[in-house]
Structure 1
């Protein structure tokens, strides 16, 4: 089972979906969103706009009542090998080492022999800078290290579409900025199509090719902003650029507009 860092690229299509919860709360009405192969898309919006619900629909954890979600023309389902999901919390098994946590998905999928699984798991730990911590248990890892193990576990399955649900929200600012850089480094190497959910405007600008701003549900997309900043990006350089600040201020204004509209809709 060779470890090949070159990932085939995939297009993600959300076409005219509708979704409501059992209590009648509508989240999406005729909602569409598309990501080009290899594109890094950040989805930004206030609480209540449906960001996590969107990711659950994209992963097949929930099913749209109308419309369709496709990866390279295939309907999504949780077991689709093209899909990888990085959760808000690392979701690691505390009784397993970092290496065995990364290997866990490969074991469940029956991919390769024990030796091949070990080899791939170690390769992806190396990719996230944690080969030296392969034998450590979860409690011996910092929060940032745990999230890197979680990322390595997902990457080891070599998905072509990576769904990331605020994966660094619980980290301190220094660790979060470091993980932003690491995410871009790995994405540049592997080339997955990424949909990244965040509340953090600076994070969205730093990471993305394009930022999608959502309205309060079921308002759909408020607007999109293409981020034309040079790559590779670094915290030291990119966040100091005047263009970075311009994008940040523009998105702050758009989010403020969404929030103002949502307040006007609240009953008196």
Structure 2
């Protein structure tokens, strides 16, 4: 499992807009952390720093004590859009990263890709092209494509924002099931307070740039979680209400 350390990071864009000043964040191995905050607070910039796609002007970002790079084998990235190759079927979309990395032989690649398709509930859709899949199914293929590389740290950038409410609820439960089974460390960006509370061990609220972390809230709800049971708990609504107040304060600051 991966431990993520962000220490004393400064980051500003070339136009001088400062996003972070002396920003620090630590995520323990196996922890599920959700990031919330008003628009413009730097959530996506932070994910780019965590993935190594952007570099801080000061400070460090490390996975298990090693400076992060986009090619780090520990790292998996799940985008808001599935970004599947339309000419490849589901199995070959999942297999694509293994082929590019030249990992395993062709038969072993297909075997592993099929395993992860089955893990996300799409074993019967292996030969379907993306246009033949619903939005939720496409996002499951994208998730399997990331998981097949067996990363220990998942960075998820609002991966279910474009889905309808029913598909989003299903993907939330699927994400927790896979996280429980595979044990990755997860950093999950969302604008949805209830989604953050349902998924996370800890919710980190960012203030307006360059404030950084405004608040953190540990989510002490029993696991395993289900949408039907968990959302009925009084503590679920208490957490959601507290986070809503915090984000409203951040937006007004």
Give the TM bin, normalised by the shorter chain: over 0.9
Task: Return the alpha-carbon distance in structure 2 between the equivalents of residues 23 and 108 of structure 1.
Answer: 36
Partner residue of 2:244? 252
Partner residue of 1:226? 218
1:186-225 matches, cutoff 5 A? 186-225=178-217
1:164-203 matches, cutoff 5 A? 164-203=156-195
Partner residue of 1:129? 121
Partner residue of 1:76? 68
**1:93 and 2:91 are equivalent in the alignment:** no
Q: 1:67 aligns with which of 59, 66, 73?
A: 59
Scaled by the length of structure 1, what TM-score is found?
0.94
Q: 1:26 aligns with which of 18, 21, 29?
A: 18
Describe the SS at the equivalent of 2:55. coil
Describe the SS at the equivalent of 1:187. helix
Q: CA RMSD in A?
A: 0.5
Task: Return the alpha-carbon distance in structure 1 between the equivalents of residues 159 and 12 of structure 2.
Answer: 25
Task: Return the alpha-carbon distance in structure 2 between the equivalents of residues 185 and 227 of structure 1.
Answer: 17
Partner residue of 1:107? 99
| Alpha-carbon shift at residue 224 of structure 1 (Å) | 0.1
**1:156 and 2:157 are equivalent in the alignment:** no
Describe the SS at the equivalent of 2:26. strand
Describe the SS at the equivalent of 2:229. helix
Q: Mark the runs of 5 or more structure 1 residues left unpaired by the alignment.
A: 1-8, 262-268
Q: Mark the runs of 5 or more structure 2 residues left unpaired by the alignment.
A: none
Describe the SS at the equivalent of 1:49. coil
Offset from partner CA, 1:195-214 (integer Å, 9 cap, x none): 00000000000000000000
